[in-house]
């Protein structure tokens, strides 16, 4: 049986989605997948980053520690977990820019049947979490990827805020997570890998 290869691809300004991605990486390692945790490249100028101390701190702490996501990671992996904050009810430009570099792989049909699931965070309980995840899934539909939503397939989803589209969390102004989503993240990763394993091994 071939090992499932998983890319955990995240963007984070102030650390929330990085933490979610780290939980995802840990869950996938425990599951036995080959895992790459990669950071979507920052696009904002340093002058903007420096206006927010939490953003600056997180940027400087991760820029040399976490490898930048490459389009080649999309070809390498059998499955993807995306984690991106909500920005005006949709994906951050950084994540979109990364996705938009996949045209070459798409044209060669190399993104077909990739197994995908997505997570997000927002400041408000109804701040656009589902819309953000759906906008990522829209791109996945164009790729011919197989979207694995959590649905209500585990109790951890209810206790983590109940988002069946993908795990999401509310963060306060200090960046504290308001719901306990770790179990939901781990379940989402395990479920995605179970589906990916069937795709890889037939």
Residue number with CB closer to ligand FMN (29 or 62): 62
168 within 8 A of 120, measured Cβ to Cβ: yes
Query: In 3-state terms, what secondary structure has residue 106?
Result: helix
Tell me phi and psi for residue 75, to 5 degrees. -75, -40
Residue number with CB closer to ligand FMN (83 or 156): 83
Among 88, 141, 152, 158, the residue binding ligand FMN under the rule CB under 6 A is 88
Pair of tokens at residue 168: 């999401």
Q: Which residues of 18-41 are buried (b: 16+ CB within 10 A; e: fewer)?
A: bbbbbbbbbbbeebebebbbbbbe
**Segment contacting ligand FMN by CB under 6 A, of 29-37, 123-131, 142-150, 152-160:** 123-131
Task: Please spell the DSSP secondary structure of 113-144, one letter per residue.
Answer: T-EEEEEEEESSTTSSHHHHHHHHHHHHHHHT
**Segment contacting ligand FMN by CB under 6 A, of 43-51, 98-106, 117-125, 153-161:** 117-125
Among 5, 9, 15, 150, the residue binding ligand FMN under the rule CB under 6 A is 15
Among 36, 39, 87, 96, the residue binding ligand FMN under the rule CB under 6 A is 87
> Least separation, in Å, of the C-beta of 97 and ligand FMN?
15
Pair of tokens at residue 194: 């179970």
> Least separation, in Å, of the C-beta of 3 and ligand FMN?
29
Residue number with CB closer to ligand FMN (54 or 102): 54
Cα R_g (the chain), whole angstroms: 16
Pair of tokens at residue 81: 């977990």
> Least separation, in Å, of the C-beta of 90 and ligand FMN?
8
The site for ligand FMN (CB under 6 A) is made up of: 12-17, 85-89, 121-124, 127-128, 171, 175
């Amino acid at each position: 049986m071939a090992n499932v290869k998983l890319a955990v691809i995240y963007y984070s300004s102030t650390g929330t989605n990085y933490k979610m991605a780290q939980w995802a990486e840990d869950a996938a390692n425990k599951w036995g997948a080959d895992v790459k945790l990669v950071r979507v490249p920052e696009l904002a100028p340093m002058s903007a980053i420096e206006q927010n101390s939490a953003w600056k701190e997180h940027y400087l702490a991760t820029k040399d520690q976490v490898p930048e996501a490459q389009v080649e990671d999309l070809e390498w992996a059998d499955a993807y977990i995306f984690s991106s904050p909500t920005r005006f009810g949709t994906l951050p430009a950084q994540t979109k820019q990364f996705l938009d570099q996949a045209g070459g792989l798409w044209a060669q049909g190399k993104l077909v049947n990739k197994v995908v699931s997505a997570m997000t965070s927002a400041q408000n309980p109804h701040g656009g979490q589902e819309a953000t995840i759906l906008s990522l899934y829209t791109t996945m539909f164009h790729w011919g990827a197989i979207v694995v939503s959590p649905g209500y397939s585990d109790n951890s989803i209810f206790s983590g805020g109940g988002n069946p589209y993908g795990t999401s969390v509310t963060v306060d102004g200090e960046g504290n997570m308001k719901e306990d989503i770790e179990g939901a993240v781990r379940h989402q990763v395990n479920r995605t890998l179970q589906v990916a394993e069937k795709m890889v091994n037939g």
